[in-house]
Amino acid sequence: MKRNVFQFNINKCVGCHACVVACSIENKTIPDILWREISSFNPFGYPDIPLFHFSLACNHCQDAPCMSNCPALAYSKDKLTGAIIHHAEKCIGCKYCTWACPYDAPKFNEKTRIIEKCTFCNHRILDSLKPACANLCPTGALDFIDNQEELVHKDIPGFTDAGIGPSIKIIPVARDKPGLICSEQQIITKSVEKVKSKSKIELRHEWPLAAFTLIVVLLVALFTATTFRKIEINPVLFIITGGFAMILSLFHLGRKFRAWRSVFNLKASWLSREIFFFTLFFVLAAVYFLFVKENIIAFSAIIFGSLALFSIDKLYELAIQPIKLELHSAHVLLSFFLFTALFFEQYYAFMLIAMIKAGVYTYRKFEMRKMKKNIRLLLSGWRLDMLISFPLIFWFFDISNIQWWIFASVFIGEVIDRGEYYDELDIITPKKQIEQDLFSNPNNS
């Protein structure tokens, strides 16, 4: 089946940036945002490793993760050209598509507060012209072709094979291409100066989401305990806290007044599902507290609250962790069971869940230490003390109001763990893939 694709010959690219300039002029992008970028493999000239460049923009994938994960349905696919088109008027600026794309194609514009990306020069293709970048490449490294072959992207150093059908045919580096030889002193100097790419997920930017997820855990656990008459909470305070959580979640959006569009993609987006289920939980809980105290309403709220927590954990699966874990100590569903056991005063169940959390947390830290990553030893010890040591001390000395002393201790530990979770998350990008391939296996030539 004929398919429009970029063709990129690694051996011909000299990194001149003509394609980048052509794209910028054609689409009138601002200097701070480049829809097409050049990433270099082995930019520091390590000996016996080829030095080459990738010219990458949006690859208009067959199974485009930006489109499937967008909660606002702000993407569409042109069936005639295969272009993945972003619709600015529908975008809420949540940046979730920038997490989903392994090629760093969607770009967040700080001025407009929405996403923009390569359009495949769809207007040029419809006029039987090549995209501007391919049209102006001086070496013929970047071209635009009608492809009828099966595209294979495995074992190409520096290129992510995510199984999503990118519309690009890559002619890999020739095995006999010489590396750029440099002295040992140059290698040492450049290794020290080497700066790793920043992660797209940083706690200092994502703290509203971290706070939101912790509040959701507590609200669902407290409501569950209240439903079964294990504790009593102030309904007004509960509703105010829930409203505050919803306001916090808006901080992450570039266009806050379009937040109503965030539930448009329940079919595929975990972000849509998280917002939808939490909203249902909050509304039903408010109805239960203020109007009708029926068990069917309470149990429905608990179910939707649990689904919201499950959705929160699922939506972060797009990100990568330093240690791949199916069960993470910061998973909010596990935290829900921990707090619920505490509120029900089921202390043996509480300690069992706490030990599971502590075991997973300790394993992660040991594995990170083997990888020579910063494990924040003092902070890690404090987190474990808050989860295990202090609750045991309170229990042993039979302190009055023990339930709330344990709660305070565990909550502090959860804040630490959740903060570390966000700080450790990362998103694969072309630059990250190059770093991974180059420095994890320097002999990969």
Task: From 339, 318, 317, 335, select the one nearest 326 (Cα to Cα).
Answer: 317
Residue 198: pLDDT over 50: yes
Mean predicted lDDT score pLDDT of the chain: 90
Q: How far is CA 142 from the centre of its chain?
A: 30
Question: Residue 211 belongs to what H/E stretch?
Answer: helix 203-227
Q: How confident is the model at residue 32 (pLDDT cuts 50, 70, 90)?
A: confident
CA 143 → CA 7, 34, 131, 147, 254, distances in Å?
Answer: 5, 19, 9, 12, 35
Record: fold of 3-184+190-194: Alpha-Beta Plaits (3.30.70)
**Which pLDDT score is estimated for 189?**
42
Whether 108 contacts 95, CB under 8 Å: yes
Whether 35 contacts 27, CB under 8 Å: yes
- Beta-bridged to residue 222, according to DSSP, are none
Residue 90: pLDDT over 50: yes
Residues 80 and 92: their CA atoms lie apart, in Å, by 27
Whether 336 contacts 221, CB under 8 Å: yes
Q: Look at residue 336 and give its three-state secondary structure.
A: helix
Residue 175: pLDDT over 50: yes
The structure's pTM equals: 0.91
What is the mean pLDDT of the segment spanning 35-51?
Answer: 81
Burial class (CB in 10 A: 0-12, 13-18, 19+), 374: exposed
**Which pLDDT score is estimated for 1?**
58
Q: Give the amino acid at 246.
A: M
Whether 330 contacts 316, CB under 8 Å: no
Helices within 43-162 (DSSP H only): 65-69, 96-100, 122-126, 132-135
Burial class (CB in 10 A: 0-12, 13-18, 19+), 274: buried
Q: How confident is the model at residue 158 (pLDDT cuts 50, 70, 90)?
A: confident
**Which pLDDT score is estimated for 50?**
77
What b-and-e string marks burial along 232-270, b requiring 16 or more CB atoms within 10 Å of the CB? eeeeeebbebbeebbebbeebbbbeebbebbbbbeeebb
**Which pLDDT score is estimated for 213?**
96
